[in-house]
Structure 1
Amino acid sequence: MLDLMMVRLPEIVIIIYAISILLYFIDFIDQNRKVNRIAFRLLSIVWILQTIFLFLYMLRTGRFPVLTLFEGLYFYSWVLITLSLAIHRILKVDFTVFFTNILGFSIMAIHAFAPFQRPTEAMAEQLVSELLFIHITMAILSYGAFTLSFVFSALYLLQYKLLKEKKWQKRLWRLSDLAKLEKISYVLNIIGVPMLLLSLILGLQWAFIKLPYFQWYDLKIIGSFLLLIVYSLILYLHRKKEIFGRKLALWNTAAFFIILINFFLVSRLSNFHIWHY
């Protein structure tokens, strides 16, 4: 019974998730508040089902599910939905949920079609470490914060474009003002940078303790530190008033693509990390 639920639950989630995204798209085009409310409720159901799946997965494996790319993608998707729902409720910024969950659905779809990975007994023995779990979890949470920062930057660029072209339409007022979008994006970066830094410190500490041969020049390590440097530089330049507004949004957008490269491509080329297809 548990095995059947583990198989069917992600399939049900994908279907409801797709319907929710479709309804959000309809609202984005036609400004339909009723459709928006239905989409939000469906997305809340997706979150509940994803949470149930995570609980069942932990019950089945006896650990937190972040050891493989298969597991990490699911947790990343869950983090994006959780943050988008929370921000929508607290800040009431329209279209945040829609744009965030286009990314979330894409990640969920990749997860659904990725081959299931069960760590070998030797691997599981090697990876039983609280440091590793905290390292991976904090890294994914920081990626979640950076992803939402990218979404708010994308909304900023869209709002900026509409204002510049003087398209005074209803959608313009639902996007919130530029200052608010910029501030939220900046705050999310402030949250993401220290979380990523702590994640890297814990990851390096685990590597020194557990691995017989540690390579500083591993692509995943280089990519992660490059990501930290880029986002730290963004925060520094913004504090110095050297980048702000549209330029800040463009920097955030470029930095997000480094995240995608580091998460999907560099992980597969790494000799140090086990996340691969």
Structure 2
Amino acid sequence: MLFEQGMTRIHELMVILYAISIMLYFIDFLNQNRKANKVAFWLLSIVWVLQTIFLFLYMKQTGRFPVLTLFEGLYFYAWVLITLSLVINKLLRMDFTVFFTNMIGFIIMVIHTFAPVQVASDAMAEKLVSELLMIHITMAILSYGAFSLSFIFSALYLLQYRLLKLKKWSQRLWRLGDLQKLETLSYILNAIGVPVLLISLILGLMWKVVKLPEVSWFDVKIITSVVLLAVYSSFLYLKVRKEMVGKPLALLNSAAFLIVLINFFLVSRFSSFHFWYA
């Protein structure tokens, strides 16, 4: 029993470190930030070490290589993906490949960690499912916080832009901050919010599978969350790949924040997924 509880805590730690690593890889993917890449690599290395230790402990306990069940296969699959991503990151510097490889690995790790099949007692299974829900909600709210601050910077950008167009020079104008800084801060917060929201969505869907299998995949909350992720991802795509700047980007970000408000305050009341908000 103590072995199972200890391994459960290790798995939860691995999921947290893995999530942080993915967010840093995402930042590096967008901005070619080598410092973020380096920290992400070391966090992922820690996850790999913990996984490897658990793998050997499990082999020692069972006396065989752990691939005979779906539960064991998921773990080994996640270990293989992390190993490959570390090799790719270190030798080939293919950031695009590393990021998406780790997204798949993270999904596998979440399924493995929170799937109730691994838990011997009903009480432990219920506790894990509750923790999964708590992490899902926390990550979602953190992403909403990032999007809210991003919206504020975009709103200040639009106000500053209008004042400059009207040539209304005053002390208040300079206190708003320059346009370039406001746009950059808005972009950085969205770059943080998108991977956090993506991780929250993955955890939420996992919770649905475990706890609410009767809820439709076309539930309004699921659909609007996917739409929200798509809109903010489009913002990042337009900014990074299409090099869109200025007022159009600020207007898009402001419109996207309206979806955040609708998703948080209105949609939950009509959803079977977040029934506690009703």
TM-score range, shorter chain: 0.5 to 0.7
Report the residue type matching 2:241 in the other structure: K
Structure 1 consecutive aligned stretches of length 4 or more whose deviation exceeds 4 Å: 125-128
Shift in Å at residue 126 of structure 1? 9.2
Q: Distance in 2 between matches of 1:237 and 1:244?
A: 9
Q: What corresponds to 1:259 in structure 2?
A: 260
Shift, 1:159, TM fit: 0.3
Structure 1 equivalent of residue 164 of structure 2: 163
The residue aligned with 1:41 is: none
Structure 1: runs of 5+ lacking an equivalent: 1-124
Contact 1:148 1:188 in 2 (8 A): yes
Confirm or deny: 8 A CA contact 1:186 1:235 kept in the other structure.
Answer: yes
**Residue 138 of structure 2 aligns with which residue?**
137
What is the CA deviation profile of residues 97-122 of structure 1, one whole-angstrom value per residue up to 9, with x for unaligned ones? xxxxxxxxxxxxxxxxxxxxxxxxxx
> C-alpha distance in 1, partners of 2:265/2:254?
17
State the SS of the aligned residue for 1:129: helix
1:128 shift after superposition = 5.6
Tell me the distance in 2 between the aligned counterparts of 1:256 and 1:245: 17
Structure 1 distance, partners of 2:196, 2:259, is: 17
Deviation at 1:214, TM superposition (A): 3.2
Does 2:179 align with 1:173?
no
* Partners of 2:215 and 2:272 within 8 A in 1: no
Do structure 1's residue 250 and structure 2's residue 247 form an aligned pair? no
Structure 1 residue 240: Cα displacement: 2.0
User: 1:254 corresponds to which letter in structure 2?
Assistant: A
Q: Which has the larger Rg?
A: 2
Q: How does 1:167-206 map to 2 (within 5 A)?
A: 167-206=168-207
The one-letter amino acid paired with 2:141 is: I
Give the corresponding residue for 1:63. none
Aligned counterparts, 1:65-214, within 5 A: 129-214=130-215
- In structure 2, the residue corresponding to 1:161 is in which secondary structure? helix
Q: Name the CA distance, whole Å, in 2 between partners of 1:193 and 1:215.
A: 24
Deviation at 1:241, TM superposition (A): 3.2
Number of equivalences: 153
C-alpha distance in 2, partners of 1:187/1:149? 8
8 A contact 1:234–1:248 mirrored in 2: yes
The 5 Å alignment of 1:211-250 reads 211-250=212-251
* Residue 269 (1) aligns with residue 255 (2): no
Deviation string for 1:60-88 (max 9, x for gaps)?
xxxxxxxxxxxxxxxxxxxxxxxxxxxxx
Cα distance in structure 1, aligned partners of 2:248 and 2:237? 14
Please report the TM-score for the alignment, with normalisation by the length of structure 1: 0.53
* Structure 2 partner of 1:98: none
Superimposed CA distance per residue, residues 149-194 of structure 1 (whole angstroms, 9 cap, x where no aligned partner): 0000000000000100111111011011000000000000000000
Stretches of structure 2 lacking an aligned partner (at least 5 in a row): 1-125
Distance 2:161 2:242 in 1: 19
Mapped to 1, the partners of 2:128 and 2:222 lie a distance apart of: 18
Rounded to whole Å, the distance in 2 between the matches of 1:185 and 1:256 is: 12
Identity among equivalent positions (%) equals 69
Instruction: Supply the distance in 2 between the matched residues of 1:166 and 1:241 (Cα, whole angstroms).
Output: 30
Q: CA deviation at 1:207?
A: 1.1
Query: Which residue of the partner structure matches residue 87 of structure 2?
Result: none
Q: How far apart, CA to CA, are the structure 1 residues paired with 2:181 and 2:161?
A: 13
Cα separation, 2, equivalents of 1:269 and 1:152: 31
Name the SS of the counterpart of 1:216 in structure 2: coil
Aligned 8 A contact 1:220 1:267 in 2:
yes
1:126–1:210 Cα contact (<8 Å) kept = no
Contact 2:129-2:207 within 8 A present in 1 as well: no
